[in-house]
Structures are given as C-alpha cells and as structure tokens.
Structure 1
Amino acid sequence: MDTATHVVMGFAIGGLATLDPVVAESTVNTQSVLIAAVIGSQIPDIDTLLKLRNNAVYIRNHRGITHSLPAILFWSVLVAAFVYFIFPEANWTHLWIWSLVAVSVHVFVDIFNAYGTQALRPITSRWIALGMINTFDPYIFGIHVLGIVIWLLGGHPGYTFLVMYIIIALYYVLRFIMQKMVKSAVLKTIPDAERIIIASTMYFNQWRIAVTTKDHFYVGRAYRRSVTIFDKFKRDSVPDNDIFRAAQKDKNVSAFLSFSPVYRWEIQRYDDYTEVRFIDLRYRSNGHYPFVAIVKLTDELEVITSYTGWVYSEEKLRKKVRVATD
C-alpha cells in the first residue's frame, strides 16, 4: 500500500488496541502502543531509502528482505524496544504484541498489490503479488479516515476500528470474487491462456490484464466482465547470443529481469552502438509501457549506459539515458 494508507492503518491499529484490557488500563500503555503501531506500520518501507543509491538496487530489494518473515520479528522487537525506551513504565509484552501486529499487517496488505512482496523469505524468494487491491485504494483509505474522524469526535476507537476491519475484510473477499470473475472472462476471450496477470486499478470495476499464451502476449483491460485487448505481441524467447548475454549482465537489466514476470524485448542497431530494451507488460498506461530496462552496448559489448525504472514517455526515457551517460 502507499505511505498514507500505512499511516492511517497505524492509527487504526493503535485504536483497535484499546480493546486489549492491559493497553486500556493506563494512559501510558495506550499512548505507547499507539506510537508503536504508527511506527510499525511504516518501518518495513525503510528500504525506500535505497532509491538514493539507484533504481537497480531499489527494484531488486524493495519489499524484499525488509518484508520477510525474519524482518517482521526484527522490526517488531526494534519498534517495541525504541518506544519502551521512551515509556519505560509501559507494559513490554503488550507493547511488543501490538508492534508485531502493526508490522505484520503492513506486510500482509502489501501482498495484495500488483507489486507484491517477498514475504515468505527465507522459505522462498518468490514474489507474492495477488493484484486484488491497488497500491492506493480510495475505499480502504477512506474508511480508515472515517474511523479516525469518529474517534476524534468521541467514538470508542476499539469498537470503531473492529467494525471497520470487519468491513474491510468483507471488501477483500469481494475483490477476490471480482478478480475471479475477470479471470473467467479472460479465459473466454483467450482460451489458450497459460498465465493471466490481473491487477486492480484505482477504479472499482477496472482491471489491468497481461496474458501469456504459447505464442503471444496480450495486454488489455477489463471492465466488470467485459475484456478489451489493446495490444498483442509475438512471444519470442530472449536470444541466446553474445549481445543479450552481455545485456543481461548489466545491473539495471538484471534487476529488471529479477522482478518482472512478463516482458518483451526489442533490439535496435545504430552506427556505433546496439540498444537492447526490455518492457514490462503489466503497467500499460495511456498506450505506453512505463516500466522498462534499457542498455546501450558498444561493438565490443561494453556497456555505454543503462537505465531501469518507471518512465512515462519516450522523451523522458531518452533524457534518463543521457543523464546516466553523463
């Protein structure tokens, strides 16, 4: 989820914690748990700082180890210890329990986005991305804000957020059912589909679709049970030659390939260099595919420049590559 949603979730978990008799018995316990819940709902995304290094490191690691099973335990202990240092009279056990809840909820809800997480590391490094909930879901965010407003107006935070989370749980079930309906519609449209990636958008009834068959890739959108295919690409394996082997060794291309489950490639030869491009098919927006990796190679297969990331126009991509060269 986005940062704003994780923030309001932190306040909601802090409010929900007031149903815990130990938390509710003293102001210091209530305050310390609320602070821990807000911090715990944010801390797994500390890996966003990797953007300061470069996109390749960020793409390869964001929502990776920081969202893993060991990290959940580590973050909860760290957050509880930090807050306990400020509130030494707080109940340590319940402070840690609610810190654990906050961190766990953060990782859990991220699984339902199209980006996903490596939440099952070290058991498996596979990305888990269910695509049922958009990174920013206005309904989930709105109901959290409503709950906070009710709390500020004097409503009981525990019961308010308990009811709220029951409603959100039902919303997740609804989104699961809707996604299954879209999948059925896609299979009717493309019966030979081998892999179907369905991702939600900010619009309740609209879904992004990327389909793989034996010979083609299909990209489209679904509105309720109506499927529209925008693009069809021939599914060509990545050539096993010196140019592509050199391209795949580049850090930006390697990071892209480690993350993207469905992509196509392009190659363009110029007078003094060869350009290889990999294009993720999951994020089509206004006829453009913004998530790409691009590398320019000399005739001796040395990297001139490369880039990976989200760029929403060809002009901006060219600027990014020129900046990387400079």
Structure 2
Amino acid sequence: MDTGTHFLMGIALGGLATLDPTVANNPALAEAVLLGTLVGSQTPDLDTILKLKNNAKYIRNHRGITHSIPAVFIWTLLISTILFYVYHVSFFHLLLWTFIAVSLHVLVDIFNAYGTQALRPFSKKWIALGIINTFDPFIFIAHLIGIALWLNGAHLGYTFLAIYALLVGYYIFRFQQQQTIKTKLRNMFENVEQIITVPTMKWNEWHLAVSTATHFYVARAKNGEIRILDIFEKCPIPNIPVIEAAKKDENLAAFLSFSPVYRWEVNEYSDHYEVRFTDLRYRSKGYYPFVAVVQLDLDLNIVSSYTGWIFSEKKLRKKLELIPS
C-alpha cells in the first residue's frame, strides 16, 4: 500500500488496541502502543531509501528482505524495546500490538500487483495477489471516516473494529471480482499458463496480462467486459552473445528478477546494439512504462542502461544519455 494508507492503518490499530483492557486503563501504555503501531506500520518501507542509490537497487530489494519473516520479528522487537525503555510500560502489550502493525503492513502489501518476498528466507518468490491497487481510495477513505467519527465522539476501538470488518468484506468482494475475470479469461483462451491482474484505483477496471503456450495477451476488464489491447508472440530469450552480455548489466538483472511477464527485442544500429525488455503488466494509454534498456557497443561492452518507469521515448533517451537510437 501507499505510505498514507499505512500511516492511517497505524492510527486505526492504535485505536483497536483500546479494546484491550490493559491498554485502555493505562494512558502511558496507550500512548506507547499508538507510537508502536504508527512506527510499525511504516518501518518495513525503510528500503525506499534505496531509490537514492539507483533504480536497480530499489527494484531488486524493495519489499524484499525488509518484508521477510525474520524482518517482521526484528522490526517488532526493535521498536518495542525502544518504546519500553522510554515509557516503562508492559513490554508484552507493546510487543503484541507492534507485531500486529508490522505484520499487517506486510500482509496488505501482498494483495497488490507489486507484491512482496514475504516468505524469505524460505523462498525468494514474489507473492503478488493482484487484488488491491497500491492506493485504494475505498480503503483510504474508510480510514478517514473512522478517524472523523472518533474525533466526533465515537468510541475509538469499536469504530475501527467496524471499519475493519467492512474492509474484510471489501477484500472478499475484490477477490470475487478477480476470480470472475480469471474464469472469463480461461474461457477465452486455450492453454492459459498465467493470468496477472493489476487492479486500478477504479473498482470496476483492471489491467490484465495473460500468458498462454504461444502468446502474451494484454487486456483490460471494465464493468465485467474484457477487451484485448495487444497480442505478442511468445518468444523464448535466445542464447545469443548480445543478450548474454546485456544480462550482466545490473539494471536488466534487476528487471528480470522482478518482472514475471515481458517481451524482449534487440535492435542493431550502425555503431551500437540496444536490448530492451518491456513489462507487459502496466500498459497505460497505449504505452508500456516499465522497461529495462541496455545499450552496447559493437564489441558488446555495456555503454548505457536504464530500468524503471518512463512514460515517453524522449525521456527514455534522456535517461540513457549516451547513445540515441
């Protein structure tokens, strides 16, 4: 989820904690728990700082080790210990509610199309259920309504208990929507190997990428109707020198470690090669913005590369800087 929604979830969990009699009857503990849930709801995303390094580091590591099973316990213990020495209150209750906040952060991220490596160290597989958009207006507004009700005198704990009961129903509704779309796609195509759903901020609109034995299909579902936007023949990556050389680039390596469905192309110019990989999940206005591009000279030395989100060819050329196509 986005940072704002994670922050509101921290407030909501601090509110839910007041249903715990030990927390409700101890103002210092209630304050410490609220801080624990606020910090715990944000801490797994500290890896966002990797953006300052480069896109390759960010793509390869964001929602990786910081969202893993060991990290959940490490964040919980670290935050709870610091707050315990500041407030000198019940360590168990601090630990419990901070753990819930950190765990909920990781859990809700699994429902996005981006996903997390939440099963590390047992598996580095990305878990991305593709049910909820990274920013979901319904979830965000539901939390704002809960805070507004609380500020107007509603019971803090029961208010957010009702909000979360509503959100559980919303997640079930979105899951049913997704399954209906997948069923339609399996009826449309033969030999379906993979279906990736990318929910948008509109509850009735989804981006889709379908992989069959022979083709990739890019589609959109809107109001239950599915429209095919692009079709690409499925071509295995060839074992040729120019691609093998490009794979040594950290930007392309990061892209391949993250993207589950993509097409590739190699272009040869008078003085260089260009290898491009395009993620098929995020088609927007006829353009595929998530790419990895590697430029090599005729001796197959890497000259320039880029991976990340780019929304025009002109801006991509500026990122690559060295060689125009």
Task: Give the TM-score of the pair, scaled to structure 2.
Answer: 0.98
Contact (CA 8 Å) 1:307, 1:324: kept in 2 or not? Answer: no
Contact (CA 8 Å) 1:298, 1:304: kept in 2 or not? Answer: yes
Contact (CA 8 Å) 2:19, 2:158: kept in 1 or not? Answer: yes
What SS does structure 2 have at the residue aligned with 1:249?
coil
CA distance in 2, matches of 1:23, 1:126: 38
What SS does structure 2 have at the residue aligned with 1:133?
coil
Q: Hey, what does 1:287 align to over in structure 2?
A: 286
CA distance in 2, matches of 1:36, 1:85: 13
Query: Over aligned residue pairs, what C-alpha RMSD do you find?
Result: 1.2
Q: Hey, what does 1:38 align to over in structure 2?
A: 38
What SS does structure 2 have at the residue aligned with 1:197?
strand
- Superposed CA deviations along residues 27-56 of structure 1, whole A, max 9, x for unmatched, are 101111001100000000000000010000
Q: Hey, what does 2:83 align to over in structure 1?
A: 83
Q: Hey, what does 2:219 align to over in structure 1?
A: 220
Amino acid at match of 1:10: G
Name stretches of at least 5 consecutive residues in structure 1 with no aligned partner.
none
Contact (CA 8 Å) 1:256, 1:308: kept in 2 or not? Answer: yes
Q: Hey, what does 2:11 align to over in structure 1?
A: 11
Amino acid at match of 1:26: N
Q: Hey, what does 1:69 align to over in structure 2?
A: 69
- Superposed CA deviations along residues 233-289 of structure 1, whole A, max 9, x for unmatched, are 111111101111011111000000000000000111111110000000000011100
Is 1:256 aligned with 2:255?
Answer: yes
What SS does structure 1 have at the residue aligned with 2:103?
helix
What SS does structure 2 have at the residue aligned with 1:312?
coil
Q: Hey, what does 2:205 align to over in structure 1?
A: 206
Q: Hey, what does 2:21 align to over in structure 1?
A: 21
Amino acid at match of 1:191: E
What SS does structure 2 have at the residue aligned with 1:10?
helix
Amino acid at match of 2:52: L
CA distance in 2, matches of 1:169, 1:224: 22
Is 1:151 aligned with 2:150?
Answer: yes
Contact (CA 8 Å) 1:185, 1:225: kept in 2 or not? Answer: no
Contact (CA 8 Å) 1:182, 1:224: kept in 2 or not? Answer: no
CA distance in 2, matches of 1:111, 1:38: 20
Name stretches of at least 5 consecutive residues in structure 2 with no aligned partner.
none
Contact (CA 8 Å) 2:272, 2:298: kept in 1 or not? Answer: yes
What SS does structure 2 have at the residue aligned with 1:237?
coil
Amino acid at match of 1:310: W
What SS does structure 1 have at the residue aligned with 2:278?
strand
Give the C-alpha shift of residue 84 in structure 1: 2.0
> How many pairs were matched up?
324
Amino acid at match of 2:37: A
CA distance in 1, matches of 2:43, 2:163: 23
Give the C-alpha shift of residue 78 in structure 1: 1.0
Give the C-alpha shift of residue 79 in structure 1: 1.1
Give the 5 Å matches for 1:79-228.
79-88=79-88, 90-228=89-227
CA distance in 1, matches of 2:120, 2:323: 33
What SS does structure 2 have at the residue aligned with 1:6?
helix
Q: Hey, what does 1:275 align to over in structure 2?
A: 274
- Superposed CA deviations along residues 56-105 of structure 1, whole A, max 9, x for unmatched, are 000000000000000000001111122223212x2111011100000000
Give the C-alpha shift of residue 324 in structure 1: 10
Contact (CA 8 Å) 2:303, 2:322: kept in 1 or not? Answer: no
CA distance in 2, matches of 1:163, 1:184: 32
